[in-house]
Structure 1
């Protein structure tokens, strides 16, 4: 990690990061990173298209649904979804990706950066039976940077605090929001039916 040398006055107003913050970034998945990925049931995938327009996509499954092949490669399965394929189309045009892993009850997070390649089910060293139902495709990520993020953001948000959970009734049903987004005149099915019809992964 290099110090910011931007002349922007706002950036210049920040103090430099400590040496510890600089040094925590590594170029591979060490034992701690691999253990974190193995426990994570949820990750956020960040991609961008050829023009740099960003996309973020939540990905989830059983703990360890992202498989680590070795200290420089991990595999993210593509589960059945809504077939927009935004992230996959982006990777086909621009391989730069980032992943943010979360483990329930753990306030630290793991950031992983690298380049991704879209692949079918024949990745060397990958046993697709580990995924349960075989995915149609996977992203093979070659890791270039990884580091553990401190707990401050998760602590401030109260993310894992049961008392901080919002009652679902605070928002309209999913179907109502989708109907309004699409400007439909007729109501949509109940949420459970709608999710099944859209093949959304929960």
Structure 2
């Protein structure tokens, strides 16, 4: 690292000033449009984890300018994020909105509560979440569009055909060294759709 950081210029005043300590109306509006976010946590030793979260637009609810409610939906039951938050409450979220190239970054501390501990209906796909992560916001800001522009993430011409990558039955079979093959991807996807 010696000398590498010297290659970067100081961030502009605008880049420094855009960091706020709460959710303003623009942050709240962006979160209301977002159907997808990543949740970053770290364990007690500082080892990081990042987890995808998704739902209908606005699935993460703004409770007020300093608090967010992130519902925990059925998943693989590893509950890595929840275990991490129990040991180290620092979290970060990155919100994406299809068609908008800017992203929203939110940082804070979190704790887990039962869904009925909050006075807000987080029912989605016909069921309440198993638990809710309440994030106490300490920092929020919009990230410029460059990364999404470079990636062409929302460009339909750059969409990857599913056939370009191995079927997940093959991937999981190889990763887990399974002796018995898994069902084909259509069956696995149908099973997943039953438990959203």
Superposition TM-score, scaled by structure 2 size: 0.94
2:34 to 23, 31, 40: 40
Q: Structure 1 residue 127 and structure 2 residue 109: aligned?
A: no
Q: Structure 1 residue 101 and structure 2 residue 67: aligned?
A: no
What is the deviation of 1:187? 1.3
Deviation per CA, 1:135-184, whole angstroms, max 9, x where unpaired? Answer: 11010000000000000000000000000001111111011100000011
The whole-number CA distance in structure 1 between the counterparts of 2:194 and 2:42 is 22
Between 192-201 and 138-147, the greater mean CA deviation after superposition = 192-201
Instruction: Count residues in correspondence.
Output: 196
SS of equivalent residue, structure 2 residue 85: helix
Residue of structure 2 in register with 1:140 after alignment: 134
SS of equivalent residue, structure 1 residue 186: coil
What is the deviation of 1:193? 2.7
Residue of structure 2 in register with 1:194 after alignment: 188
Structure 1 residue runs of 4+, over 6 Å off? 198-202
Q: Structure 1 residue 90 and structure 2 residue 59: aligned?
A: no
Superposition TM-score, scaled by structure 1 size: 0.91
Q: Are 2:39 and 2:51, in contact at CA under 8 Å, matched by a contact in 1?
A: yes
Runs of 5+ unmatched residues, structure 2 = none
Deviation per CA, 1:93-142, whole angstroms, max 9, x where unpaired? Answer: 11000000000000000000000101112334323347741011010000
Residue of structure 1 in register with 2:46 after alignment: 52
1:165-184 matched pairs, under 5 angstroms: 165-184=159-178
